[in-house]
Structure 1
Amino acid sequence: MSSTSNIYNVSSLLSLQSFDLPPEKAIAAFVFAAVNYTIILFCNCLLLFTIIRNKSLHQPMHILLINLPINALIGSTALFPHIMQRLLFDTSTITFSSCVTQAFFLHLYAFTVVFILSAMAYDRYVAICQPMSYYTIMSNSHLVKIISLVWLTNWALVGVLIILLLRLPRCRSYLNHSYCDNPSLLQLVCGDTTINNIYGLWYTGVSQILSVVLILYTYLRIVIACFRNKSSSNMRSKALETCGTHLIIFLLFECLGLFTVISYRIKDISPDVRKFSGVAAMIIPPTLNPIIYGLRTKEIRVSVLKMFKRKVYVS
């Protein structure tokens, strides 16, 4: 009777792993987090605004690119305000409902990035390997289908992940992590998590395998096409300009994400390393994505410079 009572009377407040920082370092960390969050908001909103405002950028490549800053804003907003609150008020508690909400949006962010980058790789493949049919294949209706598939699929799959979690009873209130995600929330459960583990591994494995295979295949075809036809058209050169950027972003996110997943399976790993890898995977890509794409994509770079020059001239 007592064990059953403990399961169902567990507190709705959860305790997260502390940052273990003295007051002066906590303030410095808060300032760093606030500045970083501001940079993420500014750069991603600027990229989003630039593409939406300029009709010349309403091309399939840029329309797909819009989804990266939207997703980055979702992920960073799910993480940064909570971390900043913890650092400022020296608290490590969070309500169970808020924790589950944060886990949902962080997982949505992480998996959606992979699918967006895969869709962008497909766009580059069509642009370089089938340039004459590019606007036929990447029509507005096709773009809507691709974008809808990316978002709706991930909303549904992450939703199932969270529903499977919520069906299980809790008997613990301490998370061995600095923010909420599915693996850390499963540590609070006293029931059988076999189905959750199988579904989580299946979801992660399928999404990673599909994205990696698609991106490797498209880049292999792009390299072959470039070697076969050295006389590049205007569209081909524009497409190639973003390929290196796209690959850098994908490899960066994959390495950080893979290390974070592996850190959960290694019991002897330092808690500080686990905390750093988890937070870095959520901080670095949203910060670098708009900066790298803005600097490397000529059309976006020119549009941003024109917009700022116009503002300076008007003022």
Structure 2
Amino acid sequence: KKEGNETVGVIILGLIYSVNMGHLIIPALVLILVVGILANGFIIGIIYTNSSLKNPKNILISHLCLIDLVGLAFSPYFITRLAMGSTAPISLESCLVQYYFLNLYSCVAVFMVSFMAIDRFLVICYPFLYELKVSNENIHKFMFLCWSLAIIYPTLYIFPFIGSKVCYLVTSYSFLCTGSSIESSACNPDTILFSKYYRIVMIALHFIGSLLIVTCSYIKILQESRSARLSESSRKALNTVVTHGIILLVFFGNSCFMFITGSLQIRDPSEESVLAILRLTADVLYLNVPPAINPIIYGLRNEDMRREFTKFFWRKKTNLVK
């Protein structure tokens, strides 16, 4: 507990135990950051500069790329902290900012992958209803709702901590502040009671709910694909399911790895470094790998994207020759 000038806050063990690997981690993060920004920015650019590409599916892809850029925004923080080699505790205010943007990213990402699964289900199983009900305008309205909820709901977690004092020096095995470390650092246990249960409920709703939606959608798609009732448009849409399935595997695989490592408890201090490295790996994978891989996967699998990609670089090559 805080006494006199004793330091309080959250010690990020992931940074401490990985500082000796900075010469390997930093170049990898810089490469992922550059690739991710260029790939996501390119896809957003070609979608919104080509009217022929502005359809519901591609609008969803553009918003997925946008939230991927939010995830990549953590990379400069990781890179800076590793380069500085700082082991000083982080204040509660800094932890709350980190946790807010982590939840913003997670919330919109879950909305995106869930609705993309529903979108594929509707266009394959109910193509005529899809053409009647799903429009660019409706997609934009839904995206506005998703971003609004993602911006508002993390504030309900943070609100009880505003103005509260930090009394303890606690540790986070992660590369970031975790919800449990934020709650453990607060002086008043009553302050964190709502936040703790709210955090657990929202995690359950987000990932378990999303996983159920995606699973049900893909079961129905599989059943429909085995029948002879598929229209021509449904058969074409079925090809995009593979792309979305890869995105889902990457996203949910990394999410499960992060939450599993986050629930592990270490009683032997000598094993702290093992858990810290696992959490470091989980954080880097969750916040960096999907944002960098997603646009590449869509660029390779999406015929429209490949065509625009070829046109863009063909024009560049022609201009250089001239």
TM-score between both structures, scaled by the size of structure 1: 0.88
Cα distance between partner residues in 2 of 1:183 and 1:8 = 25
In structure 1, how many angstroms separate the alpha carbons of the residues matched to 2:48 and 2:6?
Answer: 48
- Cα displacement (A) at 1:12: 8.2
Query: For residues 193-232 of structure 1, what are the structure 2 equivalents within 5 Å?
Result: 193-229=192-228, 232=231
Q: Between 252-261 and 35-44, report the one with greater CA deviation.
A: 252-261
Counterpart among 270, 284, 288 of residue 289 in structure 2: 284
- Distance (Å, rounded) in 2 between the aligned partners of 1:74 and 1:21: 24
Shift of 1:178: 2.0
Q: Is 1:299 aligned with 2:304? A: yes
Contact 2:8 2:168 in 1 (8 A): no
Aligned length: 308
Q: Which moved more, 1:141-150 or 1:279-288?
A: 141-150
Residue deviations 1:111-154 (CA, integer Å, cap 9, x gap)? 21111111111111121112123232112332123212211122
CA drift at 1:167: 6.0
Alignment check: 8 A CA contact 2:46 2:308 kept: yes
Of the structure 1 ranges 193-202 and 112-121, higher mean CA displacement relative to structure 2 is found in 193-202
What is the rounded CA distance, in whole Å, between the counterparts of 2:40 and 2:16 in structure 1? 28
Q: Which residue of 1 aligns with 2:176?
A: 179
**What amino acid maps onto 1:99 in structure 2?**
C
1:115-134 to structure 2, matched below 5 A, reads 115-134=111-130
**Displacement of 1:21:** 4.9
User: What is the aligned partner in structure 2 of residue 90 from structure 1?
Assistant: 85
* CA 88–216 in structure 1, closer or farther in 2 if over 3 Å, else same: same
**CA separation in 2, counterparts of 1:285 and 1:293?**
12
1:180 partner amino acid: C
AA matched with 1:294: G
Cα distance in 1 for residues equivalent to 2:307 and 2:194: 51
CA distance in 1: counterparts of 2:4 and 2:161, whole angstroms: 15
Q: Deviations for 1:236-286, whole angstroms, at most 9, x for unmatched residues?
A: 233212212212222222222122222232213622112212222112111
Q: Which amino acid letter does the alignment assign opposite residue 107 of structure 1?
A: N
Q: Give 1:57 deviation, angstroms.
A: 1.0
Q: Does structure 1 conserve the Cα–Cα contact (< 8 Å) formed by 2:19 and 2:85?
A: no
Q: C-alpha distance in 1, partners of 2:17/2:208? A: 37
Partner Cα distance (1:8, 1:210) in 2 = 47
Separation in structure 1 between the aligned mates of residue 216 and residue 4 of structure 2, nearest angstrom: 50
1:166 to 162, 181, 188: 162
Q: 2:76 aligns with which of 61, 77, 81?
A: 81
CA deviation after TM superposition for structure 1 residue 38, in Å: 0.9
Aligned match for 1:65, one of 61, 85, 89: 61
> Aligned to 2:263, which of 262, 265, 268?
265
- Tell me how far apart the structure 2 counterparts of residues 250 and 167 of structure 1 sit (CA, whole Å): 39
**1:8 and 1:137 mapped to 2: Cα distance?**
64
**Number of the residue aligned with 2:132:** 136
Opposite residue 243 of structure 2, the aligned amino acid is: T
RMSD: 2.4
Mean alpha-carbon deviation: is it higher for 53-62 or for 187-196? 187-196
With CA pairs under 8 Å and 6+ residues apart, which has the higher RCO, 1 or 2?
A: 2
Structure 1 residue runs without a partner (length 5+): none
The one-letter code of the counterpart of 1:184 is S
**TM-score when scaled to structure 2?**
0.86
Aligned to 2:269: none
Point out where structure 2 has 5 or more consecutive residues left out of the alignment: 267-273
Deviation at 1:231, TM superposition (A): 5.3
Q: Secondary structure at the match of 1:282?
A: helix
User: Relative to structure 1, is the Cα distance of residues 73 and 8 closer, same or farther in structure 2, using a 3 angstrom cutoff?
Assistant: farther
Worse-superposed segment, 161-170 or 209-218: 161-170
Structure 2 counterpart of 1:179, one-letter code: L
Contact 1:54–1:303 (CA under 8 A) maintained in structure 2: no
The answer to whether the 8 Å contact 1:170/1:190 transfers is: yes
Identity of matched residues, %: 26
Shift of 1:67: 0.9
Q: 1:2-38 CA deviation, whole Å, 9 max, x = no partner?
A: x7xx489886875422343566x42332222211211
Could you tell which deviates more after superposition, 243-252 or 164-173? 164-173
User: What residue is the counterpart of 2:236 in the other structure?
Assistant: 238
The whole-number CA distance in structure 2 between the counterparts of 1:230 and 1:8 is 75
Contact preservation (8 Å) 1:245, 1:293: yes
Contact 2:19 2:82 in 1 (8 A): no
